[in-house]
A and B are shown apart, each in its own frame.
Chain A
Amino acid sequence: MSPFKVLVVDDERDFLESLVRRLQRRSVDAAGVTSGEAALEHLKVHKADVVVLDVKMPGMNGIEALRHIKQHYPEVEVILLTGHASVESGVEGLALEAFDYLIKPVKLDELIERIMEAFDRRKVVGELTGSPPPDQS
C-alpha cells in the first residue's frame, strides 16, 4: 500500500466505485464517499492526505466541502475534479487553496501523478509546520 491515504468524493457512483477500485489495484490507499457531508464524516474517523473532490454535487457542493476541509484539516491537499469548468468554481477553488483543478474525464495515470504531486507538497508543508503525514511518524 501507498504511504498516503486518498479520499475520493463524487455523487456519480459508477465513476466513484470503479475509480476507487482502480486506485487500490495500483496500491493506492483509497476510499470513496458520495457526498460532501459523508466526506467530512469520513475525515473525522479516518485520516486522508489527499482528497479528490467533485465540485457539483447535490447537498453540500464541492466548494463548501473544500472550505470545511481546509478549515478543519488544513494539511489535507484537495484536488477538484469536475465536469464543469465554470470560472467561478475554478477561481474560488484555487483561492481556497485547492491543489489543482481538473476537468473530467481525466486519465488515471494523470490523476495519480497529480495526487502524488499533491502528497509531495503535503509532505513539505507538513515538515515545515511540524505536522508530518501519519505513516512517517
Chain B
Amino acid sequence: MTRPYANLSRRMTIVALLVALLPLNGLGFSLYYYYNYANTQALKEELRIRALNRASAIELFLAERTALLEVLAHGARLTQLSNESELANLLSIMNRRSWSFVDLGIIDKEGRHRAYVGPYLLKEQKYLDAPWFQQAMQKGVYTSDVFLGYRQVPHFVIAAKHENGSDSWVLRATIDSDVFNRLVRTAQVGKSGDAYILDRQGRLQTPSRLGGKVLDPAPVELGSVAPGSSVVERTTADGRQVLTAFSWICGGKWLLVIDQDPKEILGPLNLARNVELAVLALASLFVVVAVFILVRLFIRQLQRNDEERAAIDAQLAHSARLVSLGRMAAGVAHEINNPLAAISELAGEVQDILVPSELAKLEEGEVVGENLERIQNQVERAREVTHRMLKFARRMEPHLEGIDINDVLRESYSFIEKEALFNNVKVQLDLSPNLPVIKSDRAQLQQVFLNLMDNALDAVGQGGRVRVTSRADGSWLTVKVNDSGPGVPADLAGRIFDPFFTTKDPGQGTGLGLSISHSITQRLGGSLELENHPGQGATFVVRLPNSPPDTP
C-alpha cells in the first residue's frame, strides 16, 4: 500500500477503534468497579452486623455474670461467705450450669483477701492498691481488664461490692478465659479470619489467632476507630488486605475486632465479575478484528476507485489532446488551402491560355506544359493532405441509424478484397450470426473498419493472414481485427493514436487514420484499443455500445 493510503488506513483504524472501544470498555470497567464496590459494601455491612451481634452476645455474657455477682454480694453476709466451705459450695452451684467462673473470693474493705476458693493460693493477699478493687469500692460493681495479678496468669475479674452501713466488702470472681475466648472466637469466619478483644490501651484481651498472645499490644490504631460499630479496609502487619469490623463493648471499655480476608468471601461473587471481564475482552477482540477487516476493505475499494478515476482522467486528457490537435490541424489546413486554391487557379489560367497549339509555338513549350501539369499534381497532393486533416478535425454529429455491424464489415472487406488477393493475404471473416442491430453511424464505422483492415494488410505484407471477428458481449459489440504481422513495438504502442504519428514511409501515410478512427469510436460511445503482442501481431479492438435502435 502506498503512503497516503497507509496514512489514511492508520487514521481510520485509530478513530474506529477509539469510537468502538472507548464506550465498550467504559461500560465494561464501570460494571467491573460497580460489582467490586457492591460486593465489598455488602460484605462490609454483613461484617458490621456480625460484629454487632457478637458484641451483644459478649455483653450479655458479662452482664449475666455481673448481675449474678451483684445479687450474691447484696444478699449474702460476710460471716456466711467468709466460710470457705460455704464459698466453695457456692462456686460449684454457680458453675453447675457452666457459668465459667474459675474462682471466687471475698475481700474486706481493707483489701484483705478474707476467703478464697479456686486453683491458686491467693488467701490473705492484699488488694488495696489493685485498680479493680478501687473501682469496685467506688462504683459497686466492676469488670476488670486482663491482668496478671498475683497468680501471674492473664485473666480478668468481675467484682461486686456489698455495702450495709459501715460494713462493706467485695465479692470477686475470675472468668474462665478459655470459655470467654471461645465465645469471642465464634465471631471469626473462614480460614483466614480473626476475632479478638482489645482494651483501651490497645492490648489484646483475648488471643488473636494471627496477631499475638493476650496482653500483647495489638496491631490496630485505636485512635481512629469510630464510636459504635464500623468497618474499615486495612493492611495487617504481615501485609494482607483485610476488612476489619470494630464494635465497642461494655460502654467503650473494650473493643471487639473482627478481621476478614475479603477474597475468601468475595471469591464466588467475583466469578460473575470475571466472566464480565472475559466477555468484555472477547468483545474488544471482535471489535478490533472487525475494524481491521472493514478498514482494509474500505481502503482497497478506495484504491480501486482512485485507480479507475486516474484511468478515466488519462483517457479524458488523451481525448482533449486529440481535440486540440484537431483544431490546430483545421487551422493549418485552412491557411494552406487558400494559397493552394490560388496556385491552382493561377496555374490553371496559364494552362487555359497555353493550350497545346500555343505551347507548340514556344521554344520549350513541352517543358512549360509538363510543369504546369506537375504544379496541378502537387496541388492535388497537398489538397489530399489538408482534406484529410480537415476530416480528422471534423466534429460532426454522428448520423445514427440502425445498422448490422456484419453488413458494414462485409462491405468494408469488399473494398480491400482486391488488394488482399493481389498481396496473397488470407482474410478470414469470423462473424457472429446473431448480432443485434445497433444504432450507430454507418459511414463513420466503415471508415474505421476500412482503416483497420487497410493497416492490417500493410502490416502483414505478402502472404500474411488477417482475421476479423465480431461478437456480442452483454451491453457491448466487439469487433477485433487481428493480423499476423510483427505487432507494434512496445515503445510506440502509446503513441499510435496520436495524430500525424506514422510508422509508414514518408508519403505512404498521413498518420491520421488511427487517430480519426479513435475519435470516431469515442464519438459513437465506444472505444478503440490496441491489444499488442510484439512479435506476434497486433489486434485492434473496437467496442460499440449495444443499444437498441429505438433508444434516443
Q: Which residues of A contact B (CB under 8 A)?
A: 12, 14-15, 18-19, 21-22, 25, 56, 82-87, 90-91, 103-108
Contacting pair B338 A12 (CB below 8 A):
yes
Instruction: Give 5 closest A-B pairs by Cβ, nearest first.
Output: A83-B337, A84-B334, A18-B345, A104-B341, A105-B341
Nearest neighbor of B347 in chain A, beta-carbon distance: A18
Alpha-carbon distance A46/B25, docked complex (angstroms): 100
| B442 CB–A CB distance under 8 Å | no
Number of A-B contacts (CB under 8 A): 69
Alpha-carbon distance A136/B392, docked complex (angstroms): 45
Contacting pair B341 A106 (CB below 8 A):
yes
Nearest neighbor of B338 in chain A, beta-carbon distance: A83
A12 CB contact (under 8 Å) in B333, B336, B341: B341
- Nearest chain A CB to B297 CB, angstrom units: 48
| B340 CB–A CB distance under 8 Å | yes
| B393 CB–A CB distance under 8 Å | yes
Contacting pair A56 B341 (CB below 8 A):
no
Contacting pair B349 A21 (CB below 8 A):
yes
Alpha-carbon distance A104/B345, docked complex (angstroms): 11
Q: Which residues of B contact A (CB under 8 A)?
A: 330-331, 333-338, 340-346, 348-349, 352, 379, 383, 387, 390-391, 393-396
B340 CB contact (under 8 Å) in A19, A85, A105: A105
Contacting pair B349 A87 (CB below 8 A):
no
Which label, helix, strand, loop or mixed, suits the secondary structure of the B interface? Answer: helix
A103 CB contact (under 8 Å) in B331, B335, B346, B387: B387
Alpha-carbon distance A22/B340, docked complex (angstroms): 16
Given contacts A18-B346, A105-B337, 13 further A-B contacts (CB under 8 A): A12-B342, A14-B345, A22-B348, A25-B349, A83-B333, A83-B334, A83-B338, A83-B341, A87-B396, A103-B387, A105-B340, A107-B344, A108-B345
Contacting pair B348 A104 (CB below 8 A):
no
Contacting pair A108 B390 (CB below 8 A):
no
Interfacial chain B residues near A86, Cβ < 8 Å: 330
Contacting pair B330 A15 (CB below 8 A):
no
Q: In the complex, which of the residues A12, A105, A107 has the most CB atoms of chain B within 10 Å of its own CB atom?
A: A105
Interfacial chain B residues near A107, Cβ < 8 Å: 344
Contacting pair A84 B341 (CB below 8 A):
no
Interfacial chain B residues near A14, Cβ < 8 Å: 342, 345-346
Nearest neighbor of B387 in chain A, beta-carbon distance: A103
Alpha-carbon distance A19/B338, docked complex (angstroms): 13
Nearest neighbor of B343 in chain A, beta-carbon distance: A105
Contacting pair A104 B349 (CB below 8 A):
no
Contacting pair B341 A87 (CB below 8 A):
no
Contacting pair B345 A87 (CB below 8 A):
no
Nearest neighbor of A14 in chain B, beta-carbon distance: B342
